[in-house]
Amino acid sequence: MRVPERLDAFMARANAAYYATHDPFADFTTAPEILQVFGELLGAWAAIVWAQFGRPTKVILAEAGPGRGTLMADALRLAARVAPDFHHAARVHLIETSARLRAVQARALPTARWHDRLADLPPGPIILLANEFLDALPVRQFQHTAQGWAERHVADGGFVLLPADQPATAPPGAAIGSVFETQPAARDFVATAASRIASQGGAAIILDYGRAESGPGDSLQALRAGRPADPLAAPGETDLTVHVDFQAMAREARAAGATAWGPIPQGSFLGALGLGPRVQKLAAANPSRATALLDAAQRLAAPGRMGHLFKALAITQEGAPPPPGFET
């Protein structure tokens, strides 16, 4: 048997290889690729929060995991049309480690600047967009056994359990057999973003699939050609993801000195930003595409589709007004 590799190390290695060598959009479709209105609404969101924190003459408009650059391109197009002052102030920065994807993004966003890490962004107020980014960051998994807590490692295409301390996410008396995930990489990312926002100004919006409250469960999954696959069978050949623990992310943001808003269902967030009226207007202007546009909007917002499983979490400075979509 090969030397067991801790799950987070396995996941980091597998996803780095996957994104370096594969077109992820052959295996899955993200919200910006489903409907251009998604990116446009986030562009409007960014313009409003920019005005809320004082309309600085320069603001870093950053996206983590920008895919093909579709979301950012749609956001900028909307901003140029309805918020030209914000569009002029925005400096586009992309957080992307894949050289192959950077080349794709450069065609959509030729003036962008690229960084490997959030911490590498230049100083100043920031508006950070992170859509389906945290789910691909590596996790650790702990399982409660009759002999105590063990951590999952990977060897020869399967799990191996090695002794471990009880994870902080697990309550006393957790059932035998239960699995608890911890997401240190995602927590570190959120803490870094929140600390920066707290000290330098700005806001962040995080959209992803996951749970509103921490709890047990093995959410590791893989997709290949749009179909579920064994996440351990072919490292580097499938996209590995997990469900984001939004309660843990909000806790990290608050601990870093920022204010966390939500999480709320993605459908509620997009609805509050005007998804329905915008799509209805587009459908009326494009009768031949009306059915496809309306179905795409339903896919993003309907509770039985992406509207409930996907959540939105916003981060602002303490004392800032509620960002769009989070007003009570």
pLDDT of 173-220, one tens digit each? 899 999 999 999 999 999 999 999 999 999 999 999 999 999 999 999
- In this model, does residue 168 exceed pLDDT 90? no
Residues with Cβ < 8 Å from 182, sequence gap 6 or more? 139, 140, 142, 167, 168, 169
The token pair at 140 is: 């650790």
* Residue 34: predicted pLDDT: 95
* Residue 169: predicted pLDDT: 86
CA angle 11/17/23 to nearest 5° reads 115
Q: What is the pLDDT of residues 288-306, one digit of tens each?
A: 999 999 999 999 999 999 9
- In this model, does residue 27 exceed pLDDT 80? no
Q: What is the pLDDT of residues 83-125, one digit of tens each?
A: 999 999 999 999 999 999 999 999 999 999 999 999 999 999 9
Q: What is the pLDDT of residues 129-160, one digit of tens each?
A: 999 999 999 999 999 999 999 999 999 999 99
Q: Residue 228: is the preceding peptide bond cis (ω within 30°)?
A: no
* Residue 86: predicted pLDDT: 98
Determine the Cα–Cα distance for residues 73 and 270; give it in Å rounded to an integer.
18
* Residue 224: predicted pLDDT: 84
Determine the Cα–Cα distance for residues 42 and 278; give it in Å rounded to an integer.
13
pLDDT tier at 278, thresholds 50, 70, 90? very high
What percentage of residues in the chain have a pLDDT greater than 70? 100
- In this model, does residue 274 exceed pLDDT 70? yes
* Residue 100: predicted pLDDT: 92
Average pLDDT over residues 232-247: 95
pLDDT tier at 225, thresholds 50, 70, 90? confident
Instruction: Domains for the chain: give ranges and CATH numbers.
Output: 19-137+183-222+239-317 (3.40.50.150)
What percentage of residues in the chain have a pLDDT greater than 90? 92
Instruction: Please give the model's pTM, rounded to 2 decimal places.
Output: 0.95
* Residue 223: predicted pLDDT: 86
Residue entry with tokens 């998804």: 275
pLDDT tier at 227, thresholds 50, 70, 90? confident
- pLDDT higher at 265 or 226: 265
pLDDT tier at 1, thresholds 50, 70, 90? low
Residues with Cβ < 8 Å from 84, sequence gap 6 or more? none
* Residue 23: predicted pLDDT: 81
